[in-house]
Structure 1
Amino acid sequence: MADIITITLLRHGVTKANQEKRYLGWTDVPLLSEEIERLKAAQDFGKQFDLCATSDLLRAKQTAALLCPKQEKIEIKNFREMHFGAWEMKTYEDLKNDRRYRAWIDDPESIAPPTGESFQEMKQRINAGFRQLRHQINKRQSEDTLLTAHGGVIRHLLIKWTREQKSFFEWKVPHKKGIRLTWEIDDWKDERKCISLQEVPLTEKENG
């Protein structure tokens, strides 16, 4: 393998539900048509990767396919967004008078959405997904991997694999920039945290 391993974490393109600020977890919705055009225009960004992994949800798969049309795609179900259960596709306005929802907002680590998953369940699932990804990277001797996933997934991976002292909600995960994590090979093999992280815009237009 190379001396350096990189994984670029990228949130999927924008959906109508994102625009409407709905809780979008496992509901399988497509990208907006204008997002499809934006991502098509950013295919130069995708050429740098030798492996493309994605959540199995449509919005992430579409993002991966548009950015990396020629690379093989590996779908990893464990990289799905949090399952919001009864709150799926609802907005703050829909839920603000729900006592359980207000309690979840105050203490999301201890309370789970009705029929949804807890933060602990989500974290365990994402950790399992990263083990799957690590196996594929090692098996294929990949040096530069793109992972198209979801805001909650990326936030957890940033907490787990970087040295930044930020909480889950302190991490900002935009749709238009990836976050590249870099490991030296010994750190990668020993499953230590990455040595650096860097924001990477999809296009020069989005830089800065």
Structure 2
Amino acid sequence: MKSQIHLIRHGITEGNQRRLYYGASDIPLADEGVAELKKLVKEAIYPQADEGDFYTTGLKRTEQTLALIYGDREHEVIPELKEMGFGDFEMKSYEDLKEVPEYVGWISDKSGSAASPGGESIAGFSMRIKEGLRILHGKHQLKELSVRHSGGDAVSVMVCHGGTIATIMDVCFPGQREHFFKWIPDPGHGYTLTLEKSEIVRYEAF
């Protein structure tokens, strides 16, 4: 039995195009994002998941990405794996915020404990993502049990966000990147996690 979890970052949005902080903002894919995903589907970069279990974070950009890649699939929502919430900084760029004292203090914090006004701290975000990963892993283990009795492979597909994926990868493979931001895949790309005896043991980028 093959056991894999596929983590896919949603496609390009206005937030990506304009370099905005937009974790909690429920914005759709940009036209460029739709076109790029269709191109990647034609290039067949995505893992097969015909009998897989599918998940999103419930935000428009993850729902659209799942539908464009795998079609109209029944799926569950794991809200704990949403992107970091930036509070008052949502939908604003560095240029918009660079002279705002609260922003300067926030980006200067090295401890990870400072939160943006109305938003999350890095530490709080990381704790939430770890809980989301625990939930996803648990659901995948149920899939493993199901296919062990019926035959086939255990496959889960999670469409989520760049910061979410980077945090998961940093948790699963500590010390393999100089900074967790290095784990962030391009929009529409991601990682396949392979499990052995229900434990995540290796990965492959796509």
After TM superposition, the score normalised by the length of structure 1 is 0.83
Name the residue aligned to 2:70: 68
| C-alpha contact (below 8 Å) 1:14/1:32 kept by paired residues | yes
Secondary structure in 2 matching 1:6: strand
- Secondary structure in 2 matching 1:181: strand
Q: Deviations over 1:36-82 (max 9, x none)?
A: 23324417555612122111111011101111115321211111110
Q: 1:168 deviation in Å?
A: 2.2
Secondary structure, aligned partner of 1:83: coil
Residue 205 of structure 2 corresponds to 199
Tell whether the 8 Å contact from 2:62 to 2:159 is kept in structure 1 after alignment.
Answer: yes
Is 1:135 matched with 2:138?
yes
Q: Partner residue of 1:124?
A: 127
The Cα of 1:140 is off from its aligned counterpart by 2.7
Note closer, same or farther for the CA distance 1:73–1:80 as it changes in structure 2 (3 Å cut). same
| 8 Å Cα contact 2:10-2:65 kept in structure 1 | yes
Contact 1:51–1:71 under 8 Å retained in 2: no
Q: State whether residues 182 and 197 of structure 1, in contact with CA within 8 Å, keep that contact through their aligned partners in structure 2.
A: yes
**2:195 and 2:114 mapped to 1: Cα distance?**
34
5 Å-filtered alignment, 1:98-113, equals: 98-107=100-109, 109-113=112-116
TM-score (norm 2): 0.84
**Aligned equivalents of 2:65 and 2:104: distance in 1?**
33
Alpha carbons of 1:96 and 1:172: their partners in 2 closer, same or farther (altered >3 Å)? same
Alignment-derived partner of residue 170 in structure 2: 159
CA–CA separation in structure 2 for the residues paired with 1:72 and 1:46: 18
Cα–Cα, structure 1 residues 22 and 115, in superposed 2: closer, same or farther, change >3 Å? same
Moved more, 68-77 or 38-47: 38-47
Compute the displacement of 1:143 (Å): 1.7
State the alpha-carbon separation in 1 of the partners of residues 20 and 81 from structure 2: 19
Q: Which runs of 5+ in 1 are unaligned?
A: 189-193, 201-208
Q: Provide the rounded CA distance (Å) in 2 between the counterparts of 1:70 and 1:61.
A: 10
- Tell me which residue corresponds to 1:170: 182
What amino acid does structure 2 have at the position aligned with 1:34?
Answer: E
**Residue 10 (structure 1) aligns with:** 8
CA deviation map 1:120-139 (0-9, x unaligned) = 22122112212221222122
Structure 2 gaps, min length 5: 145-152
Q: Tell me how far apart the structure 1 counterparts of residues 156 and 107 of structure 2 sit (CA, whole Å).
A: 34
2:33 matches 1:39: no
| Cα distance in 1, alignment partners of residues 188 and 120 from structure 2 | 28
Question: How many correspondences in the alignment?
Answer: 192
Match of 2:156 in 1: 145
